[in-house]
Amino acid sequence: MAVKPKTLSEARAVYSTNSELAWWVFMRISGLFLIFLVFGHMFFNNIQINVADVDYAYVAKRFSKSWVKIYDSFLLGFAMLHGINGLRYSLEDYIQRPGRRFWAKVVLFTVAAVIFVLGVMTLWAFSFEEMGDAVRGLQHSN
Amino acid sequence: MYRGKEGQWAFLLHRLSGVAIALYLIIHVLDISLVMYGPDGPFNTFLAFYHQWPFRIGLVLVMAGVVYHALNGLRIIIMDFSEWGIRYQRAMWYGVLVLTTAIGIPVLVKVIPEIFGGV
C-alpha cells in the first residue's frame, strides 16, 4: 500500500476493492466502540481490584453473569477483528515477497480463528452447572 | 531509517502499540480459556506465574499502549472525517501525549504500590 488515504474520498479512490474500503471504515467504527469497551474492561479488572487477586473463583464469578458474557463477547469480537486486521496491515507493509506474505496471512488467520473460537467457548459453551462446587458456592453467596 | 516529524512518530507509536496489544490479546484469550479446565485445572498456577512483577510491569506498559492507541485513534478519526483535523494534527498529537500521561499517572500511583508493596 504505497499511498495512505487520509480522507473518505481518498480512501474510495485508492482502494481497488470495496472490501478494503469497508475495512478502512470498520477500523474507525470498531475503534470508537473499543475505546469504551477496553477502557471499561481495564477499569473493572485493574483499577477496581488488584489484578493480582484474579484467580479461578474471580473469573468464574464474572463469567457467570449474563452482562459480562455479552460485554466480553462484543469486546472479543471487535478486538479480534480490529487487532487481526491491524496485524494484516503490518504484514502487508513489511513482508515484501508475495509468497511469504500469503503464507504469513494464512498463519495469522488460522491463529485468529482458533483464538476466537476458544474465546467464544470460554464465554458461552461452558455449563456452569458442571464447573464444580467452587462456582455453585459463589452463586449461593450472592 | 526515515526520521520524519511528529506525524511519523505518531504513526510508529500507533503501529507498535497496536501490534503489542494484538499479541497481548491473543495470549490473554489463551490464558483465560484455561478456566475451562475447572477449579482444579492449571488456571491458578498460570495466573500466579503472570502475577510476578516483570509481567505486571509489562501489563502496565500494555495499558499505556491501549490509552495511547485509543487517543491517537480518535486523532486519526478526526483527521479523516473533519475539515480541520489535518491542520491541527500536530497539536492534537501533543494533546494525545499529554492526555496519555495525565491518565497514566493516577494509574501508576494506584498500581505500582500493588506490584512492589505486596499489597
pLDDT tens string A25-61: 999 999 999 999 999 999 999 999 999 999 998 998 8
The whole-number pLDDT of residue A126 equals 59
Q: What is the pLDDT of residues B56-103, one digit of tens each?
A: 999 999 999 999 999 999 999 999 999 999 999 999 999 999 999 999
Nearest CA in chain A to B110: A47
- Taking 70 as the threshold, does the pLDDT of residue B2 lie above it? no
- Taking 60 as the threshold, does the pLDDT of residue A129 lie above it? no
String of DSSP letters for A90-128:
HHHHH--SHHHHHHHHHHHHHHHHHHHHHHHHHHTS--G
Kindly list the domain boundaries of chain B, sorted by start residue.
6-116
**Confidence grade of residue A17 (pLDDT, cut at 50, 70, 90):** confident
- Average pLDDT for residues B40-59, to the nearest whole number? 93
User: In whole angstroms, what is the distance from residue A108 CA to residue A114 CA?
Assistant: 10
Contacts of B18 in chain A (CB under 8 A): 83, 86, 90
Interchain CB contact of B54 with A (< 8 Å): no
Please state at what angle helix A56-63 crosses helix B43-50, rounded to 10 degrees. 110
Q: Which residue has the higher pLDDT, B104 or A127?
A: B104
Cβ–Cβ under 8 Å, residues B85 and A8: no
Q: What interface predicted TM-score (ipTM) does this complex get?
A: 0.93
Domain A30-141 carries which CATH code?
Answer: 1.20.1300
The whole-number pLDDT of residue A48 equals 94
**Confidence grade of residue B44 (pLDDT, cut at 50, 70, 90):** very high
**Confidence grade of residue A124 (pLDDT, cut at 50, 70, 90):** confident
User: In whole angstroms, what is the distance from residue B50 CA to residue B47 CA?
Assistant: 5
Q: How many CA atoms lie within 13 A of B76 on its CB side?
A: 23
C-alpha cell at B40: 482444579
Whether residue B19 and residue A90 make contact (CB cut-off 8 A), yes or no, is yes
Kindly list the domain boundaries of chain A, sorted by start residue.
30-141
The whole-angstrom distance between A76's CA and the closest CA on chain B is 9
- Taking 70 as the threshold, does the pLDDT of residue A139 lie above it? no
- Taking 80 as the threshold, does the pLDDT of residue A141 lie above it? no
Q: How many other CB atoms sit within 10 Å of the CB of residue A19?
A: 10
Domain B6-116 carries which CATH code?
Answer: 1.20.1300.10
The whole-number pLDDT of residue A131 equals 55
Contacts of A119 in chain B (CB under 8 A): 29, 32-33
Nearest CA in chain A to B38: A131
The whole-angstrom distance between A142's CA and the closest CA on chain B is 19
User: In whole angstroms, what is the distance from residue A71 CA to residue A76 CA?
Assistant: 9
Contacts of B81 in chain A (CB under 8 A): 7-8, 28
